[in-house]
Chain A
C-alpha cells in the first residue's frame, strides 16, 4: 500500500528493502525448518539409512551386535529364495488390497451420505465426529474387544449365529484367523478412507450435479461421470493411507491373529526379536518398504493428485 502511494520516490530504496526482507524471510524460514528437519534426520532418516546398511552386512553368531560390517548380498539372496517370506508378503499384500477395497466399498456410502445427503452443516459435522468415534477408543482396547468377547469361539458373534440357527457349530475361523485379522483391519482403518472422501465430496459443486442432470445425465450417470471423478483424489489418498498402514501391520496381526497368522511385519519382528538376525530382518524391512513404494506409486496412477487438488 505504501509503495502505491509514493510512486515518485527513487526505485532503488524499496527494492533494497525488499531484498533485505527477502533474505530475512529466508533466514526465518530456515529457523522454523531446522528443528523439524533435525528431528526427522535423527529419528527417521538416520535409522532408515542404518537399516539399509545393516541389510548389506553379514550375520555372525557370537558377535555381540549379531553382525559384522562385511558387505554381502547374502541377506537378499536368502530372502528371495525364502518361500515363507514371499507367501507372507503375498498374504500381507492380499490383506492390504482387501482392506483397501472393503474400506472403499463400505466407506464411500458413509462419506457420500455425510457430504451430499446431510443438508445442515451442523448435523454434517456432528455425524462426522460421531463416525470418528471408534478412533477415540484405544487401539488396544478395540483390538482385544475383537478377540475373545466378539469373535472368539464363545464370543458374541458365534453365539448369535448359533442361537439363530445360521450355523450348527461355532465358527472356528472367526477368531484368531486371517479372516478375523482382515475383518478387524477394515473396522480399524475405514476412517482413513471416510475422512478424505468426506472432504473431497463436500467440495463437489452441487450446481455441477444439477448441470449434469440438466444436460441429460440420469442419477447414475451423474454419479459416474461427475461425482466419482471428483472423488478420485480422496479415494487415492485413503487407499494410500490404508495400504501403507495395513501392509506393514504387526500389532493387529499379533493381537487378533494370535500365533496362527503371520505377516511381513511379524516376520521382521520375529527375525529381529527372536532370531536376533538383524541383517536378515533389515533386508526384509527394506523389501517391505520397496513394496510399499511400488504400491503407493501404483495407487497414484488412478488420479493426477497434483492437478486435481
Chain B
C-alpha cells in the first residue's frame, strides 16, 4: 500500500512539475488557468500583478504569502468577487471573467464562514440548491447527506450561532460542497479555529478533498498549513508570484530571497562570487565562510554579488573539521530546546545563523552559550537565490 501511495505521489508530481516551470501557460481546456492576471485598485494600488497559474482537477493548490501579498484578491477574482484589470481566468476552457459570481462553477469557503445567521444549519446547506431551483424534498435529502459527510447530521435544526467554530466551519464546507462546484476556493479556512482544531481540520479537509477528487484552491499565510496540505504551493509576495512548486521543493529549494525568508529557518547569506567553474560558483560570504553552489541557470560571474540560502536543518555540527568550503566557525548565542529538535542560534562573522539538530543533541549542547563551534553543510544544500 505504501508503494502504491508513493507511486501515486510521483505521478502527481510528474504531472504537476511541467506546469510549474512553464511560464505563461496556455489555457489547456481542462482545469483552471490564470493568465497574466492583474488587479489594480482605483487609486493605483496593484494588488495582483501578472499571475500565471494552471490548476488541474483534483489538485490541491495553496496560495501562500504574508498578508497584503495579493493571494486573497487572486482568489476573489477566481470567485468573481473582484474583477481583474487585465488577464484571463478560464475553467475547462470557459472564460470566467465576464461571469457574475452566481454564474460561476466555483464556490468559496469564506474566512469567517459567512453563514446566514437567520437560517438553520440545514437551511444554510440547502441554500445553494434552492438558488439553483432544486425542489424542496430533493434539496433536503442532498443537504442532509452533505451534513452527514461533515459529521453534523444531528445539528440540522440549530442556528449557526449555537455551533462551535469547528462546527460552523463544517457547515460552511457542507454548504459549498452540496452545490458540486468544479473548483472549491478556500479563503483562510482554518484561520478562525484554535490551534488543535486547525491541526485536525487540516487532515479532515485534505482527506475530504482526496475523497471527492475536487480542485481546491486554498489561501493561507501559514507556512506549515501550506506544506502539510498542498499538492503544490504558490508563494506570493508584493502582488507577484515568487515560486510555484510542490511542498518539498518549496521547503528545500527556495528560488528567491522572499521565499527563503518567508518559509523560515533558512540561512540567507550575502556574498561575492570569487570563482566560477562551469556551473559551480565559489562565493565569499560575510560569515567569513567560503561556500560553493551548483547553479546551472545562473549568469553570475566573478565579482558579482549573490544571495545564498542554506536550510537550518541541512547544516550539521562538525567539531572535528578544520575548515574549508561550506563550513563556518560560529559562536553559540542561544541553545533553544524544542523537544524533538534543538535550534542553535549562532553568529558567524557578522551574520546570524540558525542550525537545527535532533533533540537528543541537547544533552551535549546545554549551557554552551558563548562557546565557539564549527558547522558544515553539503554543497547540494546551498541554493543560489534570485533577488
Interface membership of B131, Cβ < 8 A:
yes
Which chain B residues lie closer than 8 Å to A212 at the CB level? 116, 127, 131
Which chain B residues lie closer than 8 Å to A210 at the CB level? 81, 101, 108, 110, 114
The winner among B112, B114, B118 for most chain A CB atoms within 10 A is B118
Q: What 1/0 flags go to B80-96 for Cβ under 8 Å of A?
A: 11000000000000000
Which chain A residues lie closer than 8 Å to B131 at the CB level? 212, 215-217, 221, 225
B132–A216 CB distance below 8 A: yes
Min Cβ gap A27→B in Å is 35
Min Cβ gap B222→A in Å is 20
Min Cβ gap A116→B in Å is 16
Residue of B nearest to A216 (CB): B131
Q: What 1/0 flags go to B118-133 for Cβ under 8 Å of A?
A: 1100000001101110
Task: Tell me the count of chain A residues lying within 8 A, CB to CB, of chain B.
Answer: 19
In the complex, A282 Cα to B350 Cα: how many Å?
Answer: 94
Which chain B residues lie closer than 8 Å to A225 at the CB level? 127, 130-131
Which chain B residues lie closer than 8 Å to A217 at the CB level? 102, 127, 131
Given A216-B128, A216-B132, A225-B127, A211 and B102 contact (CB-CB distance below 8 Å): no
Residue of A nearest to B106 (CB): A214
In the complex, A216 Cα to B127 Cα: how many Å?
Answer: 9
B110–A207 CB distance below 8 A: yes
Which chain A residues lie closer than 8 Å to B110 at the CB level? 207, 210-211
B115–A208 CB distance below 8 A: yes
A214–B118 CB distance below 8 A: no
Interface membership of B175, Cβ < 8 A:
yes
Interface membership of A55, Cβ < 8 A:
no
Q: Which of A171-224 contact B (CB under 8 A)?
A: 205, 207-208, 210-218, 221
B102–A308 CB distance below 8 A: no
In the complex, A86 Cα to B117 Cα: how many Å?
Answer: 43
Q: What 1/0 flags go to B242-264 for Cβ under 8 Å of A?
A: 00000000000000000000000
Q: Which of B64-106 contact A (CB under 8 A)?
A: 79-81, 100-102, 106
Which chain A residues lie closer than 8 Å to B81 at the CB level? 210, 213-214
In the complex, A117 Cα to B119 Cα: how many Å?
Answer: 24
Interface membership of B179, Cβ < 8 A:
yes
Which chain B residues lie closer than 8 Å to A207 at the CB level? 110-112, 114
In the complex, A286 Cα to B342 Cα: how many Å?
Answer: 83
In the complex, A213 Cα to B101 Cα: how many Å?
Answer: 6
Min Cβ gap A217→B in Å is 5
Which chain B residues lie closer than 8 Å to A229 at the CB level? 118-119
B100–A213 CB distance below 8 A: yes
Interface membership of A230, Cβ < 8 A:
yes
Which chain A residues lie closer than 8 Å to B108 at the CB level? 210-211, 214
Q: What 1/0 flags go to B210-247 for Cβ under 8 Å of A?
A: 00000000000000000000000000000000000000
In the complex, A238 Cα to B102 Cα: how many Å?
Answer: 33
Partner of B102, one of A208, A213, A307: A213
Interface membership of B176, Cβ < 8 A:
yes
In the complex, A4 Cα to B204 Cα: how many Å?
Answer: 37
Min Cβ gap A222→B in Å is 8
Which chain B residues lie closer than 8 Å to A308 at the CB level? 118
Interface membership of A48, Cβ < 8 A:
no
Given A207-B110, A230-B118, A218 and B176 contact (CB-CB distance below 8 Å): no
In the complex, A308 Cα to B130 Cα: how many Å?
Answer: 23
In the complex, A284 Cα to B180 Cα: how many Å?
Answer: 63
Which chain A residues lie closer than 8 Å to B115 at the CB level? 208, 211
Partner of B179, one of A205, A216, A218, A307: A216
Q: Which of B314-332 contact A (CB under 8 A)?
A: none
In the complex, A212 Cα to B79 Cα: how many Å?
Answer: 12
Given A211-B110, A215-B131, A215-B179, A230 and B102 contact (CB-CB distance below 8 Å): no
Which chain A residues lie closer than 8 Å to B175 at the CB level? 211, 215
Which chain A residues lie closer than 8 Å to B102 at the CB level? 213-218
Which chain B residues lie closer than 8 Å to A213 at the CB level? 80-81, 100-102
Interface membership of B287, Cβ < 8 A:
no
In the complex, A217 Cα to B176 Cα: how many Å?
Answer: 13
Min Cβ gap B274→A in Å is 55
Min Cβ gap A223→B in Å is 13
Which chain A residues lie closer than 8 Å to B107 at the CB level? 214-215
Interface membership of A226, Cβ < 8 A:
yes
A205–B128 CB distance below 8 A: no
Which chain A residues lie closer than 8 Å to B116 at the CB level? 208, 211-212, 226
Min Cβ gap B120→A in Å is 11
The winner among A205, A216, A229 for most chain B CB atoms within 10 A is A216
Min Cβ gap B164→A in Å is 18
Min Cβ gap B364→A in Å is 39
Min Cβ gap A210→B in Å is 5
A208–B132 CB distance below 8 A: no
In the complex, A210 Cα to B108 Cα: how many Å?
Answer: 9
Q: Which of A203-262 contact B (CB under 8 A)?
A: 205, 207-208, 210-218, 221, 225-226, 229-230
The winner among B80, B102, B111, B179 for most chain A CB atoms within 10 A is B102
Residue of A nearest to B110 (CB): A207
In the complex, A205 Cα to B107 Cα: how many Å?
Answer: 18
Min Cβ gap A248→B in Å is 32
In the complex, A215 Cα to B116 Cα: how many Å?
Answer: 12
A214–B101 CB distance below 8 A: yes
The winner among A214, A216, A229, A230 for most chain B CB atoms within 10 A is A214
Min Cβ gap B241→A in Å is 25
Which chain A residues lie closer than 8 Å to B112 at the CB level? 205, 207
Which chain A residues lie closer than 8 Å to B119 at the CB level? 229
A214–B117 CB distance below 8 A: no
Residue of B nearest to A304 (CB): B118
The winner among A207, A210, A211, A221 for most chain B CB atoms within 10 A is A211
Known: A210-B110, A230-B117, A230-B118. 7 other contacts (CB 8 A): A205-B112, A205-B117, A214-B81, A216-B128, A217-B102, A225-B130, A229-B119
Closest 3 CB pairs of A and B: A216-B131, A215-B128, A207-B114
Q: Write 15 A-B pairs (CB below 8 A) sorted by A numbering.
A: A205-B114, A207-B114, A210-B108, A211-B114, A212-B131, A213-B102, A214-B101, A214-B108, A214-B176, A215-B107, A216-B128, A218-B102, A221-B131, A225-B127, A308-B118
